[in-house]
Amino acid sequence: MQNNDYSTINGFAEASFIERKSEFIGYIKHVETNDEAVDFINEIRAKHRKATHNVYAYILRDGATSRYSDDGEPQGTAGVPVLDVLQKEGLTDICCVVTRYFGGILLGGGGLVRAYSHSAKIAVEASERLIMCRCFPIDVTVDYNLYGKINYVLPDFEVKLLDTIFASDVTLKMLVKIDYIDKLKEKITDITNGNLLIEQFDECFENFA
């Protein structure tokens, strides 16, 4: 990914498994601020007040922030492995909380690392991945006889077509990645001999997954 594009998840997901009678429940959520991350952590803690541990890690684009907590597990065996999974998955604007209900059998340091890593991993796998790309929304309006030419070249520019409005003319509403915007405008202007209207709007981040 380029130009500050980033990967995150949509909404919320969870997954659980049992390891030597201990139940591990991984929760993952899209968050964009420290307050949102803390609220999510507190929400899970409130839901599982009787749990032995509620371990967490989160990564935010805002301030390039990353934080974690072992929540009473031996240092380095819980929060760090969860954070490591999020980092290796290339995720940001993300918070993961792993709840553990102790089953009476000690797992040891290595066992805890594997269990917390696995919990974070299956939570990520249960989520919907988003690839957020810097892009421009544009509207392209052309005569009906030029619509086919425009539509034909769009796949070459990885365009995300949002809508096509058929009125007195045809208007294509689309998102164009920042790396392609100038090339696309040049191409469609050329193939229509300039017989088109292009309206470009403010830069934004949108999902291109």
Enumerate domains of the chain plus CATH numbers: 6-126 (3.30.230.30), 133-207 (3.30.70.240)
Predicted local distance difference test score (pLDDT) of residue 103: 86
Predicted local distance difference test score (pLDDT) of residue 1: 46
Q: Which residues are 204's β-sheet partners?
A: 135
Mean pLDDT of the chain: 93
pLDDT in tens, 121-138: 999 999 999 999 999 999
- Strand order across the beta sheet in which 94-101 lies: 12-19, 22-30, 94-101, 53-60, 65-69
- Mean pLDDT value across residues 39-68: 94
User: What is the CB-side half-sphere exposure of residue 90 using CA atoms within 13 A?
Assistant: 9
- Mean pLDDT value across residues 80-92: 96
Model confidence at 53: pLDDT above 50 = yes
Whether residue 62 contacts residue 91, with contact meaning beta carbons closer than 8 Å, is answered with: no
**Cβ of 195: how many Cβ atoms within 10 Å?**
11
Q: Which helix (H) or strand (E) holds 99?
A: strand 94-101
| SS3 per residue for 190-205 | HHCCCCCEEEECCCEE
**What are the backbone angles phi and psi of residue 97, rounded to the nearest 5°?**
-120, 130
Tokens of 153: 């070249």
Predicted local distance difference test score (pLDDT) of residue 105: 81
Model confidence at 13: pLDDT above 90 = yes
pLDDT in tens, 54-75: 999 999 998 789 999 999 999 9
More confident of the two residues 1 and 202 = 202
Predicted confidence band at 3 (pLDDT cuts at 50, 70, 90)? low
Predicted local distance difference test score (pLDDT) of residue 130: 95
Model confidence at 107: pLDDT above 90 = no
Predicted local distance difference test score (pLDDT) of residue 81: 96
